[in-house]
């Protein structure tokens, strides 16, 4: 089985993290992933404290393997943070802003800290804060992201933050993506969209089918969302990527109007989330949707990713020996 040093750091067998896809993480999804040897994440964004507390308790009932709890700096809850530190997860992952002294607080509570970044500079800053691992997330990713592609970002972050381990994210949905990430110098992958299209993901079947049917070009940046949900000062420069809907197509071309209609648009989006029908409005999803052709159990995603990465790495190795001596 593929095994990299970050597996030992996190106490897992396979270097695959089921990303925080808050609020669409669940105890069932995390338990399936960790049961197959990967690492699971529970997201806190867009959820009530009670909901997250119940999810952590259920996850602990379903598995005694390690998992992460994720916080975004844009919707940070102090109450939940204090609770999570007491719950002592194996790791805390942080995203969308400078983690500041949260890193030290997490360490004091015995948790590893993984920080998501979108630029080399953010990676350097996170290392300065003392994080244990970095997620370098390329623009292909579903959810909030920057503008640099995974292929370009990962090796630069690997060089800038060495020897801190890096996980690649954005556009990775199969074993070839995992193999590519490892050859770029990452020690594993953080995967979101692929795990949304699993049996255990708590989204409705229509959204899962949208992912299966989508081409990569259907995963578009939602340029007007900042007008609807303004980010607090000082956050990383990001915008969300979502599968296209008629709602997004309309408001992406009416960004000035979206400022004036922001209250109305916010109500529409929040209602769609509350009804578990995000796919009507803004169903976050990445370009890797073009690589996803069926809804699978999450454990099967982990198994196939590992097996196919090993094949891809073998294939790459055999190319090297078969071309030896052929270049003049």
Residue 53 has phi, psi (to 5 degrees) of: -60, -45
User: Which stretches of the chain are assigned E, i.e. beta strand?
Assistant: 16-18, 40-43, 67-72, 91-95, 112-117, 133-137, 143-145, 166-169, 188-191, 219-221, 239-243
Name which of 134 and 312 has its Cβ closer to ligand FMN: 134
**Binders of ligand FMN in range 178-207 (CB under 6 A):** 190-194, 196
Q: How far is the CB of 225 from ligand FMN (least distance, A)?
A: 13
* Residue selected from 14, 21, 33, 178 as contacting ligand FMN according to rule CB under 6 A: 21
Binding part of the chain for ligand FMN, among 2-10, 19-27, 52-60, 121-129 by CB under 6 A, reads 19-27
**176 near 150, Cβ under 8 Å?**
no
Rg of the chain over CA atoms, in angstroms? 19
Give the position of tokens 């060089």.
159
* Residue selected from 106, 288, 298, 306 as contacting ligand FMN according to rule CB under 6 A: 288
DSSP label at residue 156? H
Interstrand relation of 166-169 and 133-137 (parallel, antiparallel or unpaired): parallel
Considering CB under 6 A, how many residues would be counted as binding ligand FMN?
30
**Binders of ligand FMN in range 84-103 (CB under 6 A):** 95
Q: How far is the CB of 305 from ligand FMN (least distance, A)?
A: 12
Interface map 248-287 toward ligand FMN (x if CB under 6 A): ------------------------------------xxx-
Residue 279 has phi, psi (to 5 degrees) of: -65, -15
Which residues form the interface with ligand FMN (CB under 6 A)?
A: 19-22, 24, 43, 45, 70, 72, 95, 116, 137, 140-143, 169-172, 190-194, 196, 284-286, 288
């Amino acid at each position: 089985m593929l095994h990299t040093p970050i597996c030992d750091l996190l106490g897992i067998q396979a270097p695959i993290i089921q990303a925080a896809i808050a609020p669409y993480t669940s105890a069932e999804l995390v338990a399936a992933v960790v049961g197959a040897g990967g690492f699971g994440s529970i997201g806190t964004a867009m959820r009530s404290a009670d909901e997250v507390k119940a999810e952590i308790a259920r996850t602990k009932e379903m598995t005694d393997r390690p998992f992460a709890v994720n916080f975004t700096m844009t919707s940070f809850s102090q109450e939940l943070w204090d609770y999570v530190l007491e719950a002592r997860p194996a790791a805390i992952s942080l995203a969308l802003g400078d983690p500041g002294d949260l890193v030290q607080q997490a360490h004091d509570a015995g948790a590893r800290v993984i920080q998501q970044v979108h630029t080399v500079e953010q990676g350097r800053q996170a290392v300065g804060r003392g994080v244990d691992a970095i997620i370098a997330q390329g623009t292909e990713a579903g959810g909030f992201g920057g503008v640099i592609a995974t292929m370009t970002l990962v090796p630069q972050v690997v060089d800038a933050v060495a020897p801190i381990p890096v996980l690649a994210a954005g556009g990775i949905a199969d074993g070839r993506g995992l193999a590519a990430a490892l050859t770029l110098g990452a020690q594993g992958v953080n995967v979101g969209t692929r795990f949304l299209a699993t049996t255990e993901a708590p989204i409705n079947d229509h959204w899962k089918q949208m992912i299966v049917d989508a081409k990569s070009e259907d995963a578009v940046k939602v340029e007007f969302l900042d007008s609807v949900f303004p980010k607090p000062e000082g956050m990383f420069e990001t915008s969300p990527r979502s599968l296209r809907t008629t709602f997004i197509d309309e408001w992406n071309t009416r960004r000035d109007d979206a400022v004036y209609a922001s209250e109305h648009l916010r109500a529409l989006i929040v209602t769609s989330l509350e009804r578990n029908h995000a796919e009507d409005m803004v169903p976050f999803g990445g370009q890797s949707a073009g690589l996803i052709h069926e809804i699978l159990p999450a454990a099967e995603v982990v198994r196939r990713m590992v097996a196919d990465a090993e094949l891809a790495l073998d294939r790459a190795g055999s190319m090297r020996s078969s071309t030896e001596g052929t270049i003049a």
